[in-house]
Amino acid sequence: MSSIWGQNLSSIAKNSRPSPIREMLAVIKQPGMISFAGGMPAPEIFPVDKFYEGAHLLKDDAANLLQYGTTEGYPPLKEFLATWTAPRMGRKVDHDEILITTGSQQALDLFGWAMIDEGDYVIVEDPSYLAALTVFFNHGAKFLGVPVDHLGMQVELIPGIIEKARSEGKNVKFIYTIVNFQNPAGSTMSIERRKRLVEISKKYNVPVFEDDPYGYVRYDGDHLPSIFSFHDGDGVIYAGSYSKILSPGTRVGWVTGPKEIIRNMTVFKQGTDLCSSPITQALVAEYCSKGYLDEHLPVIIDNYRKKRDAMEVSFEKHLKPLGATWVKPEGGFFYWLELPSINTNELFKKAIEKKVAFVPGAPFCPMEGSGLHNARINYTFSAPDVIEEGVSRLAEAIQEMGIPAL
């Protein structure tokens, strides 16, 4: 860069990574495009009327809600979360073990500020959540990838990874995992692996960041205990979000963990946005305290289950004959397609010509060369008939790349 800005940018800014999904938004919004790209909730099931009932708070408590709030978060919302999440967390956590964040994405960023020095290593799933990789990279982290199968992160590989890294002088700071309906792989970590991960965390003194934005959106099977609930020490921090269970526009997330790390993250939040919106937090707390969240979750689950099943049928019909494989998710938002003979970066270009969009797999993979034959496909946003049409178009794009039907 030769401009006055380019000459004066920080080294972090010069080396930062943009989000590939955000960068492709202009393409995705073309007229007639069917998008399986974003992790978008279905707008038709937003609980507009029930959420709007809380609007009276703007008059009832305007002096507080239109003022700056505490950085730690709106106390009634923290109290609701402490009680509501207790079954998953294994206990009711204290208020000073919860920090309300501006979306769970901010929790990742604040954790990065608190934990990562330039050149530190983070153990992540391969593949992993793209935006988490971006945040950690922009904080200066490097990655050690752990493969994912239908039972989640293959945690039995982690001791060898840690020992090898330390023998090479690498500083391993923490382990990041998305335990339920992993983004993008769709798999859920088994209880046995969750317990084993806690053992590894204790043995090697490496904390765990447990990211769980999708955990309450389960279609099949039973809810599983959190990794947090298995750790009798202070080695796990847990992040949740209202984006998938209420609305992403609320921009309300939370993080639960030991008081020490919560306090450190709070200090960085003070310098980031002072506080999350008191108005939004109050509206969410009011909605939840009336029982509307628990009433609405079955509506979300029923809607998304039907769409997942519709996509499963379309995959069987159109993509299985072309050699595609996948794991059927028990919940969440995504399928992770394996297309052994296809470079999905090239397939993306052909698919856009067919007016269907997805996200190629490579950006989700921390290890170079991974994900070239994968694609992340979202099913929650589109109606079942649109899903059928989009998958049909995707199959046409694959065939036009020279892949014959089996």
Q: Are residues 213 and 302 in the same domain?
A: no
State yes or no: pLDDT of 158 exceeds 70. Answer: yes
Mark whether 197 and 306 lie in a shared domain: no
Is 283 contained in some domain?
A: yes
Label residue 30 by pLDDT band (50, 70, 90). confident
For 293-322, what is the mean pLDDT? 97
Q: Mean pLDDT throughout 27-53?
A: 90
Domain check: are 16 and 53 in the same one?
Answer: no
Residue 169, domain CATH: 3.40.640.10
237 & 358 share domain = no
Per the structure, the count of domains in the chain is 2
The span from the CA of 10 to the CA of 4, in Å, is 12
Report pLDDT for 142: 97
Range with lowest mean pLDDT among 284-298, 323-337, 390-404: 390-404
> Are residues 122 and 256 located together in one domain of the fold?
yes
d(C-alpha 272, C-alpha 270), whole Å: 6
Euclidean distance between the first and the last CA atom of the chain, given in angstroms as a whole number: 50
The predicted-structure confidence for 220-240, as pLDDT tens digits, reads as follows: 999 999 999 999 889 999 999
Which range of residues forms the domain containing residue 310?
A: 4-46+296-400
The rounded Cα 306 to chain-centroid distance in angstroms is: 21
Q: Is residue 231 part of a domain?
A: yes
Q: Are residues 56 and 74 in the same domain?
A: yes
- At what angle are helices 103-115 and 130-138 packed, to 10 degrees? 30
Which strands sit side by side in the sheet containing 374-378, from one edge to the other?
334-338, 374-378, 359-360
Residue 119 lies in a domain: yes
pLDDT of residue 38: 86
Q: Is the pLDDT of residue 370 over 60?
A: yes
Tell me the per-residue pLDDT of 350-361, one tens digit each, with 9 for 90 and over: 999 999 999 999
Which segment, 14-18, 200-204, 370-374, is predicted with the most confidence on average?
200-204
Residue 2: per-residue pLDDT: 59
Are β-strands 356-357 and 334-338 bridged in parallel, bridged antiparallel, or unpaired?
Answer: unpaired
> SS3 for 168?
coil
Q: Is residue 283 located within the same domain as residue 355? A: no
Q: For 65, phi and psi rounded to 5 degrees?
A: -75, -25
Query: Cα separation of 34 and 316, whole Å?
Result: 19
pLDDT band at residue 406 under the 50/70/90 scheme: very low
The larger pLDDT score, comparing residue 270 to residue 30, is at: 270
- The whole-model pTM stands at 0.94
Q: How many helices and strands (H and E) does the chain possess?
A: 19, 13
For 301-327, b/e burial (b = at least 16 CB within 10 A) is bebbbebbebbbebbeebbeebbbebb
Q: What is the mean pLDDT of residues 98-111?
A: 97
